[in-house]
Amino acid sequence: MSDVALKIKGLKKKYPTGFLLLEKTEVLKDININSYKGEIYSYIGHNGAGKTTTFKTVLGFIRPDEGEITLFGEKIGIKQKMRIGFLPERPYFYDYLSAREYLLFTAGLFNLKNSEKKVDELLEIVDLKVEKNLRLRKFSKGMLQKLGIAQAIINDPDFLILDEPLGGLDPIGRKNLKDIIVRLREQGKTIIFSSHILQDAEEISDRVGIIIKGRTIKEGKLKDILEESYKGMIVSVSGIKEIPDNIKYIKKSFDENILSVSFDSKKESSDFIEYAVKKGGEIRFVGPIKKTLEEIFVEIKNENSDNS
Which CATH number do you get for residue 79?
A: 3.40.50.300
Q: Of 155, 187, 206, 167, which is closest to residue 51 (Cα–Cα)?
A: 167
Max avg pLDDT among 35-44, 89-98, 299-308: 35-44
In a domain, 22, yes or no: yes
| Same-domain status, 189 and 272 | no
Q: How confident is the model at residue 1 (pLDDT cuts 50, 70, 90)?
A: very low
| Same-domain status, 9 and 108 | yes
Q: Tell me: the pLDDT tens digits for 60-81? A: 999 999 999 999 999 998 889 9
pLDDT value of position 30: 96
| Same-domain status, 244 and 179 | no
In a domain, 295, yes or no: no
| Same-domain status, 184 and 249 | no
Q: What is the mean pLDDT of residues 249-261?
A: 88
Exposure b/e, 66-75, CB count within 10 A at least 16 = b: ebebbbbeee
| Same-domain status, 116 and 180 | yes
| Same-domain status, 63 and 13 | yes
pLDDT value of position 72: 94
The parent domain of residue 260 ranges over 232-289
Of 205, 227, 249, which one is at a domain's C-terminal end? 227
Q: Is 293 helix (H, G, I), strand (E, B) or coil?
A: helix
In a domain, 296, yes or no: no
DSSP H or E segment with residue 140: none
Residue type for position 232? G
Angle between helices 115-125 and 99-109 (to 10 degrees): 130
Strands 40-45 and 207-212: parallel
- Reply yes or no on whether the pLDDT at 258 is more than 50: yes
In a domain, 308, yes or no: no
Of 227, 254, 274, which one is at a domain's C-terminal end? 227
Distance CA 71, CA 2 (A): 11
In this structure, are residues 104 and 117 in contact, taking their beta carbons and an 8 Å threshold? Answer: no
| Same-domain status, 79 and 117 | yes
Of 197, 227, 257, which one is at a domain's C-terminal end? 227
The conformation of residue 201, written as its DSSP 8-state character, comes to: H
In a domain, 298, yes or no: no
Sign of the CA dihedral with 136 first, then 140, 146, and 152 last: positive
In a domain, 307, yes or no: no
pLDDT value of position 237: 94
Q: Tell me: the pLDDT tens digits for 108-163? A: 998 988 899 999 999 999 999 999 999 999 999 999 999 999 999 999 999 999 99
Q: How many folded domains does the chain comprise?
A: 2
pLDDT value of position 306: 66
In a domain, 282, yes or no: yes
| Same-domain status, 96 and 220 | yes
Which distant-in-sequence residues (6+ apart) come within 8 Å of 37 by Cβ? 3, 4, 5, 72, 190
Mean pLDDT rounded to a whole number for the chain: 92
| Same-domain status, 259 and 184 | no
Q: What is the dihedral of CA 157, 54, 225, 307, to 10 degrees?
A: 180
Distance CA 171, CA 141 (A): 12
Q: Tell me: the pLDDT tens digits for 189-236? A: 999 999 888 999 999 999 999 999 999 999 999 999 998 887 889 999
Distance CA 222, CA 41 (A): 9
| Same-domain status, 264 and 189 | no
| Same-domain status, 252 and 109 | no
- Reply yes or no on whether the pLDDT at 2 is more than 70: no
Distance CA 108, CA 203 (A): 36
Q: Exposed (0-12), middle (13-18) or buried (19+): which is 169, by Cβ within 10 Å? A: buried
In this structure, are residues 50 and 33 in contact, taking their beta carbons and an 8 Å threshold? Answer: no
Question: What is the reported pTM?
Answer: 0.85
| Same-domain status, 135 and 284 | no
Q: What is the mean pLDDT of residues 268-291?
A: 91
Q: How confident is the model at residue 8 (pLDDT cuts 50, 70, 90)?
A: very high
**Maximum Cα–Cα distance for the chain, whole Å?**
79
Report the percent of the chain where pLDDT is more than 70.
Answer: 98
pLDDT value of position 170: 87
